[in-house]
Amino acid sequence: MLFFSHILCVAWRSSANFSEILCCTSGRAAEADKPSDENLEAFLSSDENTADVMSNSFSILQQRSRFCFKELCSFRASNTKVLCCHFSSEGKFLASAGHEKKAMILRGDDFEVVTSGEGHTSIITDLRFKPKSSIFATSSFDRTVQIWDATRQIRSLLTLKGHAEQVTSLDFHPRKANLMCSCDRNDQIFLWNVDENACTRISKGASRQVRFQPQAGNFLAAASGNAISLIDVETNSRQLQLKGHVKDVRSICWDTTGKYIAAVSEDSAQIWSTVSGGNCIHEFHSNGNKFESCTFHPGYSQMLVIGCYKVIDFFDILVLADLRNLPNFDNSMKLPQLMVLAGSFIRTVKGLLEMRHCAVN
């Protein structure tokens, strides 16, 4: 599977059936939009002076593992560049956004457009669904956060104002439905009570991305520069600082247990264990592919998916090389249906792949 540009976001979907779906977005061969927002080039990576490095990740995965891929369909998600994407927790909705300054909402079963909303006046930088809900939020370079309902049309439900700089990321707390955080380019983190339309706390520590710890939500992972801070949500105290990247961190993610954190910079990916004092347990190098985004598989938390330059890479953090060695893998397993969405620097969904558990000769 060939992608046309950087893969800037990846997201999994799960549902009841026993197969896996891989959804990949990419760009057509079109002239790239010229940046119109201040500091946009610093927020995004560029394809300029990047070698046309190809990877055979998919072919290796099919040959050496119990995963098989079949392209199902292609669709156009936006008229401009897609920067972020997310599935609702129950897999009913898929939202993507970026330069078009609005969110595109698609049904997770057939990928038909349900609704699209307009409201931001600048690019949308991040998008996250509230757990077990059709409600989602978007952050934007227009310095606002907006709340939407995927089942309603046209306008956002709520606009949260207070950031003095461009908002780069946000996330909902996994257990407290009214709690959300956002960060901006001034390294400020806002904690919001969405129900009351109020900011309850402002602190320092994140300029690139924020992600709450899954399940318990005790910690907030906050990326700024080349480091990630683990912040206690209740006390607002930094518990750990995860270092090791030379270049700025571009994306962070938790595994589903909340014990491990992965982060990617342009040239490397690192995984830390939060239960062992923040030790780095694995490091991978991009070898010219330029890492951009990352996500852990929700069913097999040892599998890390990384969006790169034109390709998606899969890493098994336990065996590192041979995915046939995944623990408890056998042909009789019933797998949850899972879907990964990848948003690229340019504008189009290139393919939707079905990923199944299959026999290896």
Tokens 């300054």 belong to 101
pLDDT, residue 92, reads 87
Query: Is pLDDT at 18 greater than 80 in this prediction?
Result: no
Q: Which has more confidence, 340 or 178? A: 178
Quickly state the pLDDT bin for 301 (edges 50, 70, 90): confident
Residue 299 has pLDDT above 70, yes or no: yes
- Four-way CATH pick for 7-29+56-357: 3.30.70.640, 2.70.240.10, 2.130.10.10, 3.90.79.10: 2.130.10.10
Query: Which is more confident, 64 or 330?
Result: 64
Taking residues 83-97, what's their average pLDDT?
87
| Residue 25, pLDDT score | 53
Q: Quote the CA–CA distance of 54 and 313 in Å, as a whole number.
A: 11
| pLDDT confidence of residue 304 | 87
pTM assigned to the model: 0.80
* Confidence class for position 300, pLDDT limits 50, 70, 90: confident
Name which of 182-196, 220-234, 264-278 the model is least confident about.
264-278
Q: Is 224 left (phi over 0), alpha (psi -120 to 50) or beta?
A: beta
Residue 69, pLDDT score: 56
pLDDT for residue 45: 55
Tell me the C-alpha to C-alpha distance, in Å, between residue 48 and each of 5, 41, 123, 348. Answer: 11, 11, 21, 19
Whole-number pLDDT of residue 160: 98
- pLDDT band of 106, cuts 50, 70, 90: confident
Residues 6+ apart with CB under 8 A from 321: none
Position 14 scores a pLDDT of: 59
Where does the pLDDT of residue 298 fall: very low under 50, low under 70, confident under 90, or very high at 90 and above? confident
pLDDT of residue 16: 46
pLDDT confidence band for 188 (50 / 70 / 90): very high
Contact 267, 226 (CB under 8 A): no
- Furthest-apart CA atoms within the chain: distance in Å: 58
Q: What pLDDT score does 28 carry? A: 40
DSSP string, 243-264: ---SSPEEEEEE-TTSSEEEEE
Cβ contact 241:228 at 8 Å: yes
Question: Which of 130-139, 282-291, 312-321: highest mean pLDDT?
Answer: 130-139
pLDDT computed for residue 76 by the predictor: 65
339 pLDDT above the threshold of 60: no
State mean pLDDT over 159-170: 98
pLDDT for 70: 59
Q: What pLDDT does residue 269 have?
A: 94
Domain ranges of the chain: 7-29+56-357
Q: Is the pLDDT of residue 276 over 50?
A: yes
3-state secondary structure 39-92: CHHHHCCCCCCCCCCCCCHHHHHHHHCCEEEEEEEEECCCCCCEEEEEECCCCC
Q: Is pLDDT of 294 > 60?
A: yes
Question: Percentage of residues in the chain with pLDDT exceeding 70?
Answer: 65
Higher pLDDT, 143 or 108: 143
